[in-house]
Amino acid sequence: MKHMFRTMTVVAGAAVMFFAMSPALGAQSAKTDVTGKWAFAVETGAGSGTPTFTFKQDGEKLTGHYSGQLGEAELTGSVKGDAIAFSFKGDVQGTTIDVTYTGTVESKDSMKGKVVLGGLGEGTFTGKRQ
């Protein structure tokens, strides 16, 4: 009987520790929020650029502003978990192109991924919160 009581105490203790740790685990996976100003480094086959993005996130909805070599533009997109995607219309020598960024938010201050410049090419980006 003593042995069974001791085993039940150990099992109960382990359960208490698990549930006590659960809130801490939830806090570590806090929702991603990219709201703010970001500096990007973009590399494509046609060259490189250093645009600035200002994001506003509301839940999974992302809006904001692009400022760089393709002019000034409003953007829309989404953030789902650590996945980010957004797009805007840019200007290349008087021609409007669709620019799409897709990537991963790596931390509260950094992200990286791929950029597609309409039919003109694609490349990679890294972004750091300013």
**What's the pLDDT tens digit per position in 37-64?**
999 999 998 889 999 999 999 999 999 9
Helices (H), the chain: 2-28
How far apart CA 3 and CA 70 sit, in angstroms, is: 74
pLDDT at 76: 98
How far apart CA 112 and CA 79 sit, in angstroms, is: 13
Query: What pTM was estimated for this model as a whole?
Result: 0.77
pLDDT at 62: 98
How far apart CA 88 and CA 108 sit, in angstroms, is: 23
**Is residue 71 within 8 Å of 91, Cβ to Cβ?**
yes
For residue 106, what are the contacts with CB-CB under 8 A and spacing of at least 6?
A: 82, 112
pLDDT at 2: 53
